[in-house]
Structure 1
Amino acid sequence: MFIDSARIFVKAGDGGNGMSSFRREKYVPNGGPNGGDGGRGADIILKADRNINTLVDFRYKRQFKGPAGEGGQSSNKYGRNAESLIIPVPMGTTVRDEESGLLMADLIEDGQTFVVAKGGRGGRGNAHFHTSSNRAPTFAEKGEPGEERWVRLELKVLADVGLLGYPSVGKSSIIRKVSSAKPEVAAYHFTTLTPVLGVVSVDDGKSFVMADIPGLIEGASEGVGLGHNFLRHVERSNILIHVLDVSGIEGRDPIEDFHKINEELKKYSEKLSKKPQLIALNKIDLVEDVATIDRVRSYFEENGYEVFTVNALTGEGLSDLVHRAWYYVENYVPEPDATDDVVMYEAKPDVDFVITRGDDAAFIITGARIEKLVAMTNLDDEQSLRRFQKIWKYMELDKKLQEKGCKDGDEVVIGDQRFVYHD
């Protein structure tokens, strides 16, 4: 089964909790704090693997959670970092953040990796909080929560040459003839429902990858037929071979078909419509009037296209077509990557917090800094709680809550914790 898109949830491992402990040795009655730090949580990493060619595995498993880091120990021993969780994906997989829709990564090389969710850092042990005014801190930080998000994976077939054309024009027959690929061939539309890759050998050990992709029809740019499933894979090709049925046995005009398909390409992507195309006039053995071939050939040549007359069943003309395709593959110059929809997940200036009103009339405080502070604070420890209250005052949360209308006895929500406000 070929699956070329998937939606998955990734949750990196939480950091391990810091340790609260004190030095206990003979003749050292008042040993200082020696709690170690917790280990870092596991990152979630996507890795391109040439041995995988579909996203079907994500149909059965959609959630991936990394292990937490080990907790800190006494004697200033650090907890062990958790090993990263590596998820193999096919080469050609793009990764998009579902919430924003922006592109996060494009994994096109074997072994290429991307950290899709970073593990939380370990909490600090109580040895970090030893000061001249507090020589015996009893509290330690809890581990930082790991990142989590829903992402969309899309597979775009990696092929040097893509076969373009309406269903049943002979694309599958061509790839069967010039490579070892064996796609299903029959006399009905959409025989090919999934992309088929074939390695085409040229002289002197030269070769390239050709893709037989499901046929395109009018309206595909809006998702009609196999629509986007087709167009997504065409994007990867360096050059397109536009296969046309010159026989007209199905009552279609090859020139009209050419313009309809190119119109769909343009609607879907301006960049895609500008890819070089070779014209392959197929089914020449079924043409009743030879003048038809000359008329169609002349039309395309006058418009600057290279035209090849072929017979996919006998192989006539395919050698010249393959060699010309190889010339374009060998001399292909990649276009500069578009960066208009690419997002790099860098540290952003954090807005300290935002206060909103929930449906239950509670005051909800959101912000990366304050939410991490709450998550990493042990609220059951008195000293830890006092430290949290000092930071609360420093951030002027009381003042901001009052400005929003918060009164004595109102509920305040931060992350998973609920507090009762007292003026």
Structure 2
Amino acid sequence: MPEPSPLRQAPRNAGRRSAGRRNAGRRDAGRLFIGLMSGTSMDGVDGVLMRLSSQGRPQTLAGVALPMPDALRAELLALNTAGHDELERAARAANALARLYAQAVQRLLADTRLSASDVSAVGAHGQTVRHRPEQGYTVQLNAPALLAELAGIDVVADFRSRDVAAGGQGAPLVPPFHAAMFGCDTPRAVLNLGGIANLTLLAPGQAPRGLDTGPANVLLDAWCQRHTGQAYDADGRWAASGRVDAALLQTLIASEPWLRLPPPKSTGRDLFNPAWLDARLAGWRHKQPADVQATLQRFTAQTVADALDAALPQAAEVLVCGGGARNAGLMRDLADVLRRPARATDEEGVSAQWMEALAFAWLAQMHVDGQKAGVPEVTGARGPRVLGALYPA
């Protein structure tokens, strides 16, 4: 049997700060937390309001998706690489993102007719613009003090840096949450398809493991926008109009040494970006854009399958979440190469769309309760750590 879920282990009276004291009289009924996520795709902000208790699964009370304003998205994308006046531009972008986060919080409260005082804490991941754990740092743009001021709720943020300080990758962060949600007596994997793809590996009686596997939507979206003007390839329809080029697929896989690194490992736009793709397409200028899209879609699926076969070959099934779970074409490619059932986490009662936002609400609760949500088996850190920093309301 799996080890007891960290969610069920949270002590009832462990809260030591203002967020932990809030709703202290209602612990048996569960406490309310908000999770906010803007991922590598940078297409918007997802927010969820959830009830967490010491018994059973979290209950999702409301969810909201706010589109990322074009100007903010363009600036966040630009800040992924070195440029003029980065410090001021980054500070301004962080403030704009915090205001967007605050709008999501206000929508969630309005939709549920709750007040800020009803919520124990907000977990806000911020927007990753640099991730260099091998150099000892990671940067998530955010203005959590401003968010706490605007929302009137304690904010937990900066989840990655403590793990990186302990020698870890700082990512992926969601495997312990996946273990709490989906651990069972059969080996299985949870696949998150955001901008980057990452796997959680769940085996009975073992701590969860996890790793990034490579790009999910980040290259697909960039290529689609360049050639069609659309932000993403809805349901993989454009990819379906092309054909997978086996030789190009092999070139993409063979040319990237990172794919052959053993876990723990993580990645992001620092590596997989349009420049990376252009360098590998230099000898393939004759290819039709739709064929490249089809091949990139298969590249995502194949790198996931390769990583899973290497790390947990006995996995009986794969539960899929993130925006890619809504891409019918990508799901078909996964079915072709995984050689095991793949289905959306919705079938297990947890929304594929809200999964990462739910995870950050849960991580906020773990911080408030002083629980160590960092998992060395995932990140390679020297030991488990309490993740995040608290910004009181």
TM interval, short-chain normalised:
under 0.3
Larger Rg over CA atoms:
1
**TM-score, normalized by length of structure 1?**
0.22
**TM-score, normalized by length of structure 2?**
0.23
The structure richer in helix per residue is 2
